[in-house]
Structure 1
Amino acid sequence: MADYQEYRRRILHRRWRRIFITAALLILLVLLAAVGVLWKRLHREPAPNTAQGPTILQQELTGSEWNTISYTPARRLSVQTLDNGMTAMDFRLAAQPASPAVERSSFSDVSFLGDSLTQGMQLYDTGLPNAHFCAYKGVGPNAVVNNTTCRRADGEKEVPMEALASQQPRALYILLGTNVLTADSDYTSFLTYYRLMLDMISQALPNTKIYVQSITPVRPEVRKKSPGLYKERLCEINDALSAIALEKGCTFLNLWEALADENGDLIEEYAQPDGYHLLPAGYDAWVDYLCTHT
């Protein structure tokens, strides 16, 4: 019996010794991991200062997409002062004034960037079919910024920035916004993407004159199906676009001068049944405006 008790004490002793060794090893591993983390924090290289040297593209580009969350829209705007002393806070005041008309043939070496509204400029004889076009149905400035592959009117696919870089036009006319503003919601993201897009284009096309065209007017009934497309809101957004254009050194064009009636609605004779796309007569008026605002 005494031998059995001695044997049991030895087994328990060995068991507790194994438990103690295992616990000690676990504690040691935890301590080593903590020391390793602390060592890395103390000896890692400091992050580079992005405020010195890199361009806007390098500061804002993260991976393959633009970081619109960290991109601040709160930059100081250089507001244009007109000859009569008024400041261009209203998009109608910020717009390029009229100038002597040029021939339509002078647009053969310019490009147009836009959505289905711009596609009509390409397809109708009353437009400018001899110009170059990067026009894609349903796109907004985010598609340009994120290098999205888009489908042209002829069915071919391309990346807008790659197409523009290959064209290197004398001038570029931009009209984007209708497709991404149909909901009556906050449009800060739209303006942020627009800023980023202009930065990208300016760097890719350093010798190109950039025209930012106002979002076009619509018929009153459009608001029933697209709550965000009504004249008061579009005027407000155009005010912001005109300020961005001036800030970025672009020329702002007020298409409402050519397409809106006295109430600020799209002229009925220019409107397709949907209330915002244009008939050939609308493109004719649009081109006439461009010819006298170069």
Structure 2
Amino acid sequence: MKRKTRRLIIYSGALIIVLFAGILMAEVLSIITHKKVDTSEGMKILQAADSADSKEIEEKMEKLAEKQQNSEEASKEDMAGNYKAVFEDSVVMGDSISGALTDYDLLNACSVVSKIGVELDDLDSQVEKVKEINPQVIFLSYGINDIPATDGDVKLFVKEYETLIKKLQKQLPNTRIFVNSIFPVRLEKAKEEPVYANLEEYNKALSSMCDENQIGFIDNTALVSDSYYEDDGVHFKAAFYPYWLARMAEVASL
């Protein structure tokens, strides 16, 4: 009898901890997603904990945990489908990697200004287009075409990138600017084109330039894995882009 009572106390204590954690997580999710999450069921189980036996408590704990997990997954799906709203006052400027954001219907056309194969010394038309849009936030994503174009000249690359930032700041003084790191290429691509072996050096110089100009730098290196690459070893599959969007939104507090 004592053993059963002790076991009941242990399960009750565990239930209280799990329920409080679950209710707190639900409230946080409701704030993030702007949805009202129903925590009444958890409160009812909590209030009934003293009178329930250990087996019943176990079953209720398992059911509640499963329900909360499903709720979290649904919230993530809602967020993934809501990037157009999250980035409605933002623009991502870049090359074909950025252009895929509209190709995969993740962002509206007005939130992406891109061009296949574009380089930093050929962006006047993009700057003018962004000026017309007048966004609150700009995310820059260039470099994959500039590494071969500058043939390893990191100083030239940084100078051209800084020139772009100055142009944007002059045209849109109230717009916040963030610079994305250059995405790494697949190892096979780096072997095929040795100039990409300097990619890390380019990113380090880009990060330093952002620090000097008090511009937010977004390091995306950790987001990339081989499974996300297209066959060319440079561009990415659709599954990669929600992670990139989430990273940008997080850094910019969108």
State the Cα distance separating 1:203 from its structure 2 match.
Answer: 0.7
State the Cα distance separating 1:180 from its structure 2 match.
Answer: 1.8
Provide structure 2 residue ranges, at least 5 long, that are not aligned to the other structure: 1-30, 34-78
Q: Which residue of 253, 256, 260 corresponds with 2:221?
A: 256
The aligned residue for residue 182 of structure 1 is 148
The aligned residue for residue 135 of structure 1 is 114
The aligned residue for residue 243 of structure 1 is 208
Q: Which residue of 242, 250, 253 corresponds with 1:284?
A: 242
2:220 maps to amino acid: L
Matched residues in 2 for 1:187 and 1:222: separation?
20
Q: Cα deviation per residue 1:128-148 (whole Å; 9 max; x = unaligned)? A: 33651210111121112xx3x
Matched residues in 2 for 1:101 and 1:229: separation?
39
Return closer, same or farther for 1:130/1:164 CA change in 2, 3 Å cut-off: closer
State the Cα distance separating 1:186 from its structure 2 match.
Answer: 2.1
Report SS of the residue matched to 2:207: helix
TM-score (norm 2): 0.63
Report SS of the residue matched to 1:273: coil
Higher helix share: 2
Q: Cα deviation per residue 1:52-105 (whole Å; 9 max; x = unaligned)? A: xxxxxxxxxxxxxxxxxxxxxxxxxxxxxxxxxxxxxxxxxxxxxxxx978522
Report SS of the residue matched to 1:141: coil
- Is the 8 Å Cα contact of residues 169 and 208 (structure 1) preserved in structure 2? yes
Deviating runs (4+, > 4 A) in structure 1? 100-103
If asked which structure has higher relative contact order (CA below 8 Å, sep 6+), I would say 1
- Is the 8 Å Cα contact of residues 198 and 248 (structure 1) preserved in structure 2? no
- Is the 8 Å Cα contact of residues 101 and 292 (structure 1) preserved in structure 2? no
The aligned residue for residue 76 of structure 1 is none
1:115 maps to amino acid: D
Matched residues in 1 for 2:158 and 2:130: separation?
21
The aligned residue for residue 190 of structure 2 is 223
RMSD: 2.0
Q: Percent identity?
A: 28
- Is the 8 Å Cα contact of residues 242 and 252 (structure 1) preserved in structure 2? yes
1:139 maps to amino acid: V
Mapped pair 1:198 → 2:165 = yes
The aligned residue for residue 39 of structure 2 is none
Q: How many residues matched?
A: 172
The aligned residue for residue 124 of structure 1 is 104
Matched residues in 2 for 1:161 and 1:290: separation?
20
The aligned residue for residue 213 of structure 1 is 180
Matched residues in 1 for 2:110 and 2:193: separation?
31
Provide structure 1 residue ranges, at least 5 long, that are not aligned to the other structure: 1-99, 148-158, 260-266
- Is the 8 Å Cα contact of residues 110 and 133 (structure 2) preserved in structure 1? no
Matched residues in 1 for 2:241 and 2:144: separation?
17
Q: Cα deviation per residue 1:3-37 (whole Å; 9 max; x = unaligned)? A: xxxxxxxxxxxxxxxxxxxxxxxxxxxxxxxxxxx
Matched residues in 1 for 2:156 and 2:130: separation?
23
State the Cα distance separating 1:283 from its structure 2 match.
Answer: 1.0
TM-score (norm 1): 0.55
Q: Which has the larger radius of gyration?
A: 1
Matched residues in 2 for 1:115 and 1:217: separation?
15
Report SS of the residue matched to 2:122: helix
1:134 maps to amino acid: V
Matched residues in 2 for 1:187 and 1:129: separation?
33
Matched residues in 2 for 1:129 and 1:123: separation?
10
Report SS of the residue matched to 2:92: strand
Return closer, same or farther for 1:257/1:129 CA change in 2, 3 Å cut-off: farther
State the Cα distance separating 1:282 from its structure 2 match.
Answer: 1.2
Matched residues in 2 for 1:253 and 1:162: separation?
24
